[in-house]
Structure 1
Amino acid sequence: EFNPIIKEYAGMRMHMRLTDVYLMYAEALHASKGATAAPDSYGLTAEATVNLFRDRAGIPSVDSAIVGDSNKFMDELRRERAVELCYEAHRWVDIRRWGVAHLDQYRIKTALDFSENQTNFVARLLVDRICEYPKHYWLPFEAKQTQIYEGFDQNPGW
């Protein structure tokens, strides 16, 4: 942004990990062409993209039964994003974008308390997020913004 009074340019850099780019690519490709199809412009399939990360970690490739089922493969993509981007504050945005934030498996957060010898654990509830569909998928507009134009309604539930 250029400030003519100060006469200097202040830029803002966005940081994005290559991992995030690859996983977004895999998700978009899976949604448009499936897990095993590659676009003409780039030879990497959604399946191969996920397997890049699994190979790097020494984990076996995605099972063919999962690849062959669109819903199961999407679940695998979600899991892969959760693992790869676990400390980067993507999760809440991701689960709302996918429309699954209100489901128990995404709403309830637990801790795993391991025994001293690390052979078993007990799950402990940390938080049970309140997430109503569709209200909490959207943020509310300021009330004065919704009053400017008659046809500009508030987001659902607010």
Structure 2
Amino acid sequence: RGMKIIDLYENVYSQLKGVNATLDGIDEAIGSEVEREYVKAEAYGLRGFYYYLLVNLYGEPYHYNKTSLGVPLKLTAGLVENGLVRNTVEEVYVQIVKDLKVSAELFEKNPKRVGNYRLNVTSVYILLSRVYLYMEQWENAVKAAGRAIETAEGLTNYTSISSSTFYMPTYAHSEVEWRYGNGQLKYGYVPSQELLSKYGDNDCRKKFWFNVGGKTTKKTPDYAEGMGPTNTLRISEAYLNRAEAYAQMDKTNEALADLNDLRRCRITGYEDISIENVTDLLDEVRWERRLELCYDEQRWFDLRRYGMPSISHKYKAKKVDSWLMFTLKEKDPLYTIPFSTTMIMNNNRLEQNVSAYEPERKGI
């Protein structure tokens, strides 16, 4: 079956065009003030989320080089004839934080809503805690994650679920705050043995998220809810974001409390652990992050902010081909992806990333 190759840069800016048009005209829209505030809150939240995606794909990691070029900030829907230059990574992050904070303030003014594939107050605070974590603003990350947890319905306790049929992307789980995205990873992706080996025998995630053949069922939709988006933003991330920030602040007791709270809802018969060494605790939290957020499209961004370590993967295009090992070296330029030729042609002021000039990588 043929597949259309999507230019993510073009696709996300297309979504931004709709968001900006909404914000440009919402104050004159027909409807109650409450409804206008909800729409504005959703639009600002989405704009922050979209720029978070763009700057982490096409800009260098914030902590590594925040003065480097990020992506162009386009904050209105009006057409621009002569193209746009790239703002710095720091400038884009400042705008992301600004948009998410405005979104949160607007959501806070009105009762919380959950469902219909739309952002809410908790989901925006989760995103804000994630962005602060990337910026290494630990106290702000703790505060945002804490507010997310305060406004949430709570973690879903996997250990009390007896059904053999499990759907991750459903609002029936108390921890699911936002369903979104096209669900590109629904079928056919097999987790690595390294990843699977990290789940213990009593870890319910291993039972619920991966079928007998090893493929992921984490994004398989609940057909009773219809074929909606299959990505999820869940309150479990807020616990991990806060635990990591606490560990970075040398607050081991607080970090352990969040880590243990999450694990008790995932592992049957779990007994709380105690770790005194901050480095070991941080490693433990980050491993838990990999287990909990697998297939949530965050691992690549996490590796970037962890220092862009060298990574290797086996790949073959056809079954009859031999496996080849491809490697990204530490701090590889290709940790920041190049813009497509089409986008460069469409915006003659768009400066290309150096990764575009890297030699083609050969497998061995």
Aligned equivalent of 2:309, options 99, 102, 119? 102
2:258 counterpart residue number: 49
1:71 counterpart residue number: 279
The structure that is helix-richer by fraction is 2
Distance apart, 1:53 and its partner CA: 1.7
Measure, in 1, the Cα distance between the counterparts of 2:282 and 2:259.
11
Distance apart, 1:156 and its partner CA: 8.5
Aligned equivalent of 2:331, options 130, 133, 146? 133
Q: Deviations over 1:109-137 (max 9, x none)?
A: 58xxxxxxxxxxxxxx8964424415244
Distance apart, 1:70 and its partner CA: 1.9
3-state SS, counterpart of residue 22 of structure 1: helix
Aligned equivalent of 2:244, options 21, 27, 41? 27
Distance apart, 1:90 and its partner CA: 1.1
Q: Deviations over 1:62-85 (max 9, x none)?
A: 3x3xx1222211111111001111
Rate the CA distance shift 1:68–1:7 in 2: closer, same or farther, 3 A.
same
Q: Which runs of 5+ in 2 are unaligned?
A: 1-21, 31-35, 47-118, 124-177, 179-232, 315-322, 358-364
Aligned equivalent of 1:61, options 251, 261, 272? 272
For these two proteins, the number of residue pairs brought into alignment is 123
2:23 counterpart residue number: 2
Rate the CA distance shift 1:17–1:133 in 2: closer, same or farther, 3 A.
same
Normalised by the size of structure 2, how large is the TM-score?
A: 0.28
Percentage of identical aligned residues: 27
Is 1:89 aligned with 2:297?
yes
Rate the CA distance shift 1:55–1:74 in 2: closer, same or farther, 3 A.
same
3-state SS, counterpart of residue 61 of structure 1: coil
Greater shift in the superposed pair: 14-23 or 4-13: 4-13
3-state SS, counterpart of residue 33 of structure 1: coil
Partner AA of 1:108 in structure 2: S
Rate the CA distance shift 1:76–1:2 in 2: closer, same or farther, 3 A.
same
RMSD of aligned Cα (Å): 3.6
Rate the CA distance shift 1:126–1:34 in 2: closer, same or farther, 3 A.
farther
Distance apart, 1:17 and its partner CA: 1.4
Measure, in 1, the Cα distance between the counterparts of 2:356 and 2:309.
14
Q: Which runs of 5+ in 1 are unaligned?
A: 37-44, 111-124, 148-153
Distance apart, 1:25 and its partner CA: 0.6
Partner AA of 1:133 in structure 2: K
Distance apart, 1:138 and its partner CA: 3.6
1:18 counterpart residue number: 235
Measure, in 2, the Cα distance between the counterparts of 1:156 and 1:129.
15
Measure, in 2, the Cα distance between the counterparts of 1:69 and 1:126.
39
Measure, in 2, the Cα distance between the counterparts of 1:83 and 1:60.
18
3-state SS, counterpart of residue 328 of structure 2: coil
2:171 counterpart residue number: none
Q: 1:134, 1:157 within 8 Å by CA — same for their partners in 2?
A: no
Partner AA of 1:53 in structure 2: L
Q: 2:244, 2:282 within 8 Å by CA — same for their partners in 1?
A: yes
Partner AA of 2:241 in structure 1: M
Measure, in 2, the Cα distance between the counterparts of 1:48 and 1:26.
8
